[in-house]
Structure formats: structure tokens, C-alpha cells
């Protein structure tokens, strides 16, 4: 199954949660902001939603600093 994340196409396995995809990319899902098909999501949403063929993600890391 194919999805697009941050303008790159990825071949992923079926039944993959959004949070698991983010983890597979080496990122901490709790430190990311995610848009799925143009809609901003809360962490509680992408922790429980499964990706579907053709989904488009924008994943942004949250970085704090001073």
C-alpha cells in the first residue's frame, strides 16, 4: 500500500497506525504535529488511526528551545 508523507512516497504494510509509521521513521510521535489529508490531528487521534491507501501526511517535529 502506498502513502505520501512530507512529499515522499512510501510503501507501507497494511494495518499500520499513524503513530507506528512515525516511530518507524525514527521520530517520537508525541513530539510531532500531524496533518492527515490536510486535516490537523491530535495525538490521541493518530495514535489510534490506521493509514489507508493514498493517504497524505505532513509530519512536523516540535522542537523547543530558547
- For residue 46, give the C-alpha cell: 493518530
Quote the pLDDT of residue 54: 98
CATH number of 2-61: 3.10.20.30
Closest CA to 29 of 14, 18, 40: 18
pLDDT 10s digits, 2-51: 999 999 999 999 999 999 999 999 999 999 999 999 999 988 888 899 99
- For residue 14, give the C-alpha cell: 497494511
Predicted confidence (pLDDT) at residue 63 exceeds the cutoff of 90 = no
What is the torsion angle, in degrees rounded to the nearest 10, for the CA atoms of residue 25, residue 26, residue 30 and residue 32?
-60
pLDDT band, residue 66 (cuts 50/70/90) = low
Hey, how many other C-beta atoms are within 10 angstroms of the C-beta on 48?
Answer: 10
Amino acid at each position: 500500500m502506498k502513502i505520501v508523507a512530507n512529499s515522499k512516497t512510501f510503501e507501507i504494510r497494511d494495518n499500520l497506525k499513524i503513530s507506528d509509521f512515525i516511530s518507524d521513521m525514527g521520530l517520537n510521535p508525541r513530539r510531532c504535529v500531524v496533518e492527515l489529508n490536510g486535516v490537523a490531528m491530535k495525538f490521541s487521534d493518530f495514535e489510534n488511526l490506521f493509514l489507508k491507501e493514498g493517504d497524505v501526511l505532513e509530519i512536523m517535529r516540535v522542537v523547543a528551545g530558547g
